[in-house]
Amino acid sequence: MPFLCLQCKLSCQSDWHNGHCSPGETKWTTLKGLHCTWICSSLSQVQTAWSMALMDKHKQVKRQRLDRICEGIRPPILNGPMHPRPLVALLDGRDCTVEMPILKDVATVAFCDAQSTQEIHEKVLNEAVAALLYHTITLSRDDLEKFKGLRVIVRIGSGFDNVDIKAAAELGIAVCNVPAASVEETADTSLCLILNLYRRVTWMHQTLREGTRASSVEQIREVAGGAARIRGETLGIIGLGRVGQAVALRAKAFGFGVIFYDPYLPDGVERSLGLQRMATLQDLLIHSDCVSLHCSLNEHNHHLINDFTIKQMRQGAFLVNTSRGGLVDEKALAQALKEGRIRGAALDVHETEPFSFSTGPLKDAPNLICTPHTSWYSEQASVEAREEAAREVRRAITGRIPDSLKNCVNKEYLMAASQWPSIEAATVHPELNGAAYRFPPGLINVAAAGGLPGAGTGVESLVSGTLAHGITPVSHPPHAPSPNKAEADRDIPSDQ
């Protein structure tokens, strides 16, 4: 006989209920752990009840959506788990098959395939709490303000110069990246371009494609003019991060002497890698036969390679850039290539992307190799970066922002911009048992296994100096998971 479960909203087939039910009678039983109502009546009555249940379910879904929209005002930082089943948007992609297996049980994933926020659907702007993006879309302050409930942005890749991280922090949005993404691919491409410049493979190939013969010594000299021996040359690396180190190790194997300039790197790294450190950028440019850029782009190093720094380079040096297009002044580079001050250049990134030879200052520049920002790509690297980005979003949804995030690049700005809630001195959150929390400088760390004593028990004497000087106590964020239940349900935190 058909029956209806008003709890799980499923219509099933079952045996007669002992054959003793009168029309309209309902009895409670348990089916697979759920309380179900047996409808012992005619089939039409069952169908009517089923329709009513569907209407109730539809109203419930509408209420949930309305609640989600009403909660669109961005919550404060460090306020615990997000709304159940939040919306995660892949802004500039058209495929989320890699992200879905990681996020499907905690979020709804959608892709926008947008090149700007003007192309993003209003529903995403209103409801998305997390955003994944590549390098093809830019999020300025104005763009970020269009998102009503956004709390975390994860860049699928290492660079994050297409996101205003300071503005994001002021709006309560954490920005993350995948720093280990495509290190091998970018390093391989960098060395490939360096070797191409030295051995002029691209120009020789183009000569044959054009039907030009190169059989005599004079013809070969004309086609391969500018080719050079690699062993004994000096490669100067600007920025010795993950990619810079990978390029240095590969270059040493080919016989390059490697020097580098990186003011942010601690002392001692050069000794462990067998490299020579330059004290200034000028020193590196003077001593390098080939300069390779591997630093991030920020407001301090825009147009790092310009007319002034190009004049400091050796006559006939090579230049390679697989980092960020804004590091090179393309007008100055084009002029240097035409004048022969730079023998050859290879660029995978450009000031304006997508790049086209038909426009821009580089269209008539000789001895130039350009690729369309693809040094990062391989099938393996693409999947790995997307998986790690999805895992970062999952950590944000299930944990606490920004402490749960692995690669938050604007955490210091978040701490400075966040509005920390205050509570009365005698108020202690019940989930504080055994917890030791990290708070911004000047605030109190409290650690107490088994909970803090209440008012009037003498605990004031322990912190009387702090309370007397008016330092605001800090509350445990509401709805945050208990720290006692993390790390295999430990009772006492390891950092207590």
Known catalytic residues are 324, 353, 373
Phi, psi (degrees; rounded to nearest 5) at 296: -75, 165
Residue among 470, 398, 419, 373 nearest 158 (CA): 373
Q: What's 200's DSSP letter?
A: T
CB 112 within 8 A of CB 132: no
CA–CA dist 416, 329 (Å, integer): 34
Residue among 82, 128, 90 nearest 110 (CA): 90
Residue among 24, 32, 68 nearest 49 (CA): 24
Q: 3-state secondary structure string, 415-464?
A: HHHCCCCECCCCCCCHHHCCCECCCCCCCCCCECCCCCCCCCCCHHHHCH
CA–CA dist 336, 340 (Å, integer): 6
**115-120: long-range pairs with CB below 8 Å, 24+:** 116/143, 117/143, 117/146, 120/89, 120/91, 120/146
Element (H, E) at 10: strand 10-13
- R_g of the chain computed on alpha carbons: 31
Residue with tokens 């390891």: 494
The CA–CA distances, whole Å, from 181 to 131, 387, 426 equal: 18, 10, 48
**What are the E-state strand segments in 289-398?**
290-293, 317-321, 342-347, 368-370
- DSSP letters, 235-287, are EEEE--SHHHHHHHHHHHHTT-EEEEE-TTSPTTHHHHHT-EE-SSHHHHHHH
* Structure tokens that stand for 66 in this block: 């309305």
CB 413 within 8 A of CB 169: yes
CB 261 within 8 A of CB 284: yes
* Structure tokens that stand for 55 in this block: 């209407």
Do you know the residue count of the chain? 496
Order of strands, sheet of 108-111, starting from the edge strand that comes earlier in the sequence: 108-111, 87-90, 128-133, 152-155, 174-176
Q: What's 305's DSSP letter?
A: B
* Structure tokens that stand for 189 in this block: 């491409």
Which residues does residue 342 pair with via DSSP β-bridges, in sequence order?
317
The CA–CA distances, whole Å, from 129 to 107, 126, 134, 152, 203 equal: 10, 9, 17, 7, 49
